[in-house]
Structure 1
Amino acid sequence: MDTAVDYEIIIVGAGFSGMGTAIELDRAGVHDYQIFDAGDGLGGTWRCNTYPGVAVDFPVFSYQFSFEQRSDWTRVYSPGREVQEYAEHCADKYGLRSRMRFDTKIDRIVFEDDANRWRVTTAAGDTLTARFVVNATGSFPEPKMPQFSGIENFAGRVLHTARWDSSVDLTGKRVGIVGTGASGVQLTSAVAPEVAKLTVFQRTPIWIVPKYDAPLPARLRWVLEHVPLAKRALRALSQAYIETVVLLPAQYHKLFPLTRLAEGGLRRELAAQVHDPAVRDKLTPRYALGCKPPAYSNEYLSTFNRENVYLETDPIDKVTTDGLRTAEGVEHELDVLILATGFHLPFVSGVPFRCVGSDGVDLHEYWSRERTQAYQGVSVPGFPNYFSVFGPYSYNGSSYFTMIEASAKHIGRCLGHARRTGATRVEVTREANARYFDEMLRRRWRQVFWQDTCGIANAYYVDVNGDVPLRPTLSVEMAWRNSRFPLSDYRFENTPAS
């Protein structure tokens, strides 16, 4: 029986999820891995998203690895190019580039029970084998492309924020932006001053939260670089802010209904910034704060006071040769159509490649039938030797780096134990997974997502079963449990299956 493998571990994704996992594997003494990425370089989301105005949504002190903190950020909410530079720095410092393979999209993985290995097929048709596969494609692996009728006939340029073409000059153009999520909000504020006319097509208004952004003075950057523990202290303060302002109201809403108090302030901010009462009304959400992620901006609302900016809330009927036509028959002539329509989340739309586990079970079908679930967001019973960084009930709404480090610790602990014991098959038990899933469902009643008005929010993280697979815990608990779960929750076998 052939049980040999090309790689002990294949990591899919060269963004922060993949790099964080690789660094943790090296720490666990596991070095035989290869990182594959569909793009032409590392960085994941931050390599792809280069649209004007792109920036982090959390204070940057929390948007970095706890073990690799940068001291020369220029702003509290840093621009995307600095985050990409940080990704490049991490790859160099931790020696990851030599183990990365780009322009290689993973199309399908199939588990071979008789050999305890994965057969991995790329989009180019190449076939590889690996003992273990780590899905580190992150939270936003695939952009969501709306199926507008007639879009192929549009005479102008069509762009997606996640596939930005910097050669397209928007100066003096008639531009349409479809979408008012985080990307749409950032882009709208950035391009409004330079275009001739900007039409924003809004399906659902979004809560806009002001952010305490400012340039970081040179003196503070010097302190962070030279004063012992200064970076750790500032990151701790940043984390405390996120846990208090974001996670506590979201995950413990029934106990601390702080979002209801915040709504009044946000409505007052909206009234102060938007002059036209009709436009202000269109921008006012009818659902409770927290039903879907808010956007963070200090400029977005006031952008609609500009004479060259128009807010369209009538549904889009079709794309014409010259622009977009609404359901009421109004046609907006455009030179450039920009799709800020978001992404397919892995635990909502399925992983970005076909995954067939033990006994021929398809992961997407399993989740559709059994509900979306994974033990600590990392492992699924029936899918041996397969781990996810951003699986169901892994992310709690904090900085993605807290989740990446927690999931990477979990994966590193499993694979480190497998290496020490010679195990060739590692699988979470159905009992452990059921126990964790039941706990997640039991604790979710406190979350903000279950308010009556959330049904009209069009939240992108609600799955086909009506679940919200976000982890109902604070970050301290997540980190603790992912690094200290009982190894007995897994089966470690060192002989091929019969």
Structure 2
Amino acid sequence: MRMRQPDHDVVIVGAGFGGLGAGIEFKRLGFENIAILEREQDLGGTWHVNHYPGLAVDIASVTYSYSFAPNPYWSRLFAPGAELKRYAEHIADHYDLKRHMEFGTTVTLAEWDDTQRVWHVSTADGAERTCRYLVTATGFLSQPHTPDFAGMESFRGRVIHTTAWQDGHDFTSERVAVVGTGATAVQLIPEIARQARQLTVFQRTPIWVVPKVDFPIPNVVQRIFARLPITQRAARLANTAALEALMVFGVLHFKQAKAGNRGAELLARAHLRMQVRNRRTRKALTPDYDFGCKRPTFSNAYLRSFNNPHVTLQTDSIDHVEPDAIVTVAGERIEIDVLVLATGFDLWGVNFPAFRIVGRDGRDLGKWWRDNRFQAYEGISVPRFPNLLSLNSPYSYSGLSYFTTIEGQMKHIRRLFGELTRRGDDTFEVSEEANDAFLDRVTERLDSSVFYNGDCSSARSYYFNQHGEAALLRPSSTLSTLREMDRFPLDDYIYG
């Protein structure tokens, strides 16, 4: 039977940095019939969606960027979010990716056609297209979580979710409640505290906060980076080494290097003691889980905010919402004008992956993951899902900079498609045996991590799925990850 030519060689879902990286790699491989489908109205992923006050990268900018496309003109060591957005625009222009992009296009379903050996990709507008290769690059933190507090519909004030920020909103003279104390709230709360008449922060789980060594990068340094790229590569190497020490020794090898973990915790405790005057507030802000169970963050302003007389830390849970107030389970009624939801994302729930993906034999990827163990070979491919590259998969996130993950996956794509071309084939699928062996290997490596050897019982961390497994992080150093992605056994895949 004659095979139908698909509409596209490659469909990439998502135009954040993961999707941009995939697009760059496929263009390097010679593919031009590429469609990059993005549900938002512009590219940039999280750096387009998020634009709340105080938004900045939480990894030094020299590391939070593509190693092959450095930006010498970061204004600060930790660049503000608008600069990351401009960097994404620059990358899309430089690598000629914009002409492949379709915005406002929400993918709802992808189904594998075993007869035609193509993916059928359906979108919310009722259209359908086919492609030979499907890449999901929808990001780990792309499905906002909105809590359903009793009485929310009765609230007469303004409700603002951090992923749908209302630019220009002035909190001056307003009574504000912020729900959540994760990384987003750590950046946002000091900004609101500078304006609001009254600010109540509802904390479910405290977060470990370490000092933020941040400063403007002088113009002379930017010019040196531009003229002598080796200097910026040296800065990147130094910062990567520091992050590796924190991640590998403090988190992944907790069992063998508890001293490193305890050192990071002591630093955070000392920072808290220096920043917060009130002993009772300090105690409430101190996590009772081990450092690394939940992603820590950097800030020199968040903890100090609680010294202000108009800022209150509330640790009682919310019972219900009234038209002009929040009522806690203890019965305390707190009158507010604005409710800010910094409530994070739904990572492992029914919205993961971001759309329904059906492979061979009718296997539904999301359902299969939730009913069984979350798993993906090398964090990128899954048995019974031919020609699928899932960039936001279990055990894919490596290191503390997302760009380690992206560049490792680009290497994997390059090696895999090189073999596909050499064979003259057009389909690939990881074998069950290779997938099982990889899952066993990463599970064994994680046995030494803080997730299983430390006390994470109260962390409520998105690192853990509903099965109690820390299935997000790849238990390897940056160098090991990049090496493994460039050297995986080619016969782990079945070609056709």
Tell whether the 8 Å contact from 2:12 to 2:35 is kept in structure 1 after alignment.
yes
- 1:88 lines up with 2:89 in the alignment: yes
Inter-partner Cα distance in structure 1 for 2:348 and 2:205: 22
Q: Secondary structure at the match of 1:128?
A: strand
Amino acid in structure 2 at the alignment position of 1:28: L
Matches of 2:174 and 2:112, distance apart in 1 = 51
SS at match of 1:427: strand
2:482 corresponds to which of 468, 479, 484: 479
| Corresponding residue of 2:352 | 350
When normalised by structure 1's length, the TM-score is: 0.96
Equivalent of residue 467 in structure 2, options 465, 468, 477: 465
Change (3 A) 1:419 1:152: farther
Cα distance between partner residues in 2 of 1:93 and 1:483: 25
Question: Unpaired runs of 5+ in structure 1?
Answer: 494-498
Matched, 1:404 2:395: no
Conserved in 1, the CA contact under 8 Å of 2:44 and 2:89? yes
Shift of 1:8: 1.0
Q: Let me know the Cα RMSD of the aligned residues.
A: 1.5
Q: In the alignment, what sits opposite 1:415?
A: 417
On the 8 A contact 1:347/1:372 being kept in 2, the answer is: no
Deviations 1:325-364, CA, capped at 9 Å, x for gaps: 1111212221111111111226996201011110101111
Q: 1:482 is aligned with what amino acid? A: M
Q: Does 1:367 align with 2:383?
A: no
Q: In 1, Cα distance between the equivalents of 2:346 and 2:409?
A: 20
Measure, in 1, the Cα distance between the counterparts of 2:341 and 2:414: 38
Q: Quote the Cα distance in structure 2 between the aligned partners of 1:30 and 1:419.
A: 12
In the TM superposition, residue 182 of structure 1 has moved relative to its aligned partner by 0.2
Q: Distance in 1 between matches of 2:477 and 2:351?
A: 25
Partner residue, 1:274: 276
Secondary structure of the corresponding residue to residue 455 of structure 2: helix
Give the paired residue count: 493
Secondary structure of the residue that 1:142 maps to in structure 2? coil
> Residue 186 of structure 1: CA displacement?
0.5
- The reply to whether residue 297 of structure 1 matches residue 280 of structure 2 is no
* Structure 2 letter corresponding to 1:321: P
Mapping 1:44-193, distance limit 5 Å: 44-193=45-194
Asked if the contact 1:250–1:448 (Cα under 8 Å) also holds between the matched residues in 2, the reply is yes
Kept after mapping to 1: 8 A contact 2:348/2:466 = no
- CA gap of 1:42–1:411, structure 2 versus 1, over 3 A, is same
1:484-495 → structure 2 map (5 Å cutoff): 484-493=487-496
Q: Quick check: 2:249–2:261 contact (8 Å CA) kept in 1?
A: no
Between the aligned partners of 1:414 and 1:163, the Cα distance in structure 2 is 38
Give 5+ residue unaligned stretches, structure 2: none
Which of residues 321, 324, 349 in structure 1 aligns to 2:323? 321
Matched residue SS, 1:304: helix
Q: Please identify, of 175-184 and 410-419, the stretch whose mean Cα deviation from structure 2 is larger.
A: 410-419
Distance 1:225 1:150 in 2: 55
Rounded Cα–Cα distance in structure 2 between residues aligned with 1:240 and 1:405? 17
Q: CA deviation at 1:230?
A: 1.3
Distance (whole Å) between structure 2 residues aligned to residue 348 and residue 359 of structure 1: 21
Question: 1:235: which partner in 2?
Answer: 236
Q: 1:331 corresponds to which letter in structure 2?
A: R
Letter in 1 for 2:485: N
Counterpart position of 1:384: 386
Identity %: 43
Q: Please tell me the residue identity of whatever aligns with 2:326.
A: L
The range that moved more, 81-90 or 109-118, is 109-118
Query: Following superposition of structure 1 onto structure 2, how do residues 253-264 of structure 1 map, counting pairs within 5 Å?
Result: 253-257=254-258, 258-264=260-266
8 A Cα contact 2:244 2:399, kept in partner: no
Q: Does the CA-based 8 Å contact 2:247-2:399 persist in structure 1?
A: yes
Structure 1 346/40 Cα, relative in aligned 2: closer, same or farther at 3 Å? Answer: farther
How big is each residue's C-alpha offset from its partner over 1:39-81, in whole Å with a ceiling of 9 and x where there is no partner? 0000000001100001111111100000000011011111100
CA contact (8 A) 2:255 2:453 kept: no
The residue that corresponds to 2:438 in the other structure is 436
Worse-superposed segment, 339-348 or 295-304:
339-348
Structure-2 separation of matches of 1:315 and 1:6:
51
Q: Which runs of 4+ in 1 moved over 4 A?
A: 346-349
Counterpart in 1 of 2:456? 454
1:188 and 1:378 map into 2 onto residues whose CA distance is 36
Q: Name the residue aligned to 1:496.
A: none
Write out per-residue CA displacement over residues 451-481 of structure 1, whole angstroms, 9 at most, x where no aligned residue.
4520111111211211111111101010111
Report the more deviating stretch, 402-411 or 58-67.
402-411
Structure 1's 23 and 155: CA in aligned 2 closer, same or farther, altered over 3 A? same
Decide whether the 8 Å contact of 2:408 with 2:482 is kept in 1. yes
> 2:160 is paired with a residue of what secondary structure?
strand
Structure 2-normalised TM-score? 0.96
